[in-house]
Amino acid sequence: MEGKVRKKKSPALSLRVTINRKKIQEKNATETFLSAINAIGPERVASLKDICIEGFPLVVASMDCRMQMRQLSKGWFVCTHVPTKSKKSLLERIAKQLDVKIKVEIF
């Protein structure tokens, strides 16, 4: 890698989510994102066909090896390969479409 300058990675950001007065804050943004989707209901989120990551649904019932995914309980899989700021906006869009009261903070 001689001659190449590597860009320094930005410091990790985390999320804090409040859904109907219940606070969700895990050890990192991805874990918080997963817990928030679990709290909303993965089946409800999967029903939103316009919530996609690079053309793939955010929540699906089976693993897709083309995307970085994590498994939730009840056999649902969530695409997690998105920046923290995108996780925040996705949760806000989901909440708006499903009429869920939510507050998402990045820190």
| Amino acid at the residue 3 | G
Query: Rounded to two decimals, what is the model's pTM?
Result: 0.89
Residue type for 42, please?
Answer: P
Which tens digit of pLDDT belongs to each residue from 9-50?
777 899 999 999 999 999 999 999 999 999 999 999 999 999
> Does residue 70 sit in helix, strand or coil?
strand
| Domains of the chain, residue spans | 15-106
Token code pair at residue 44: 């409800």
**pLDDT for residue 1:** 52
Distances (CA, A) of 63 to 59, 60, 67: 10, 7, 9
At 78 the pLDDT is: 97
pLDDT, tens digit (0-9, with 9 covering 90-100), for 72-100: 977 899 999 999 999 999 999 999 999 99
67 falls in which pLDDT band (50, 70, 90)? confident
pLDDT of residue 2: 63
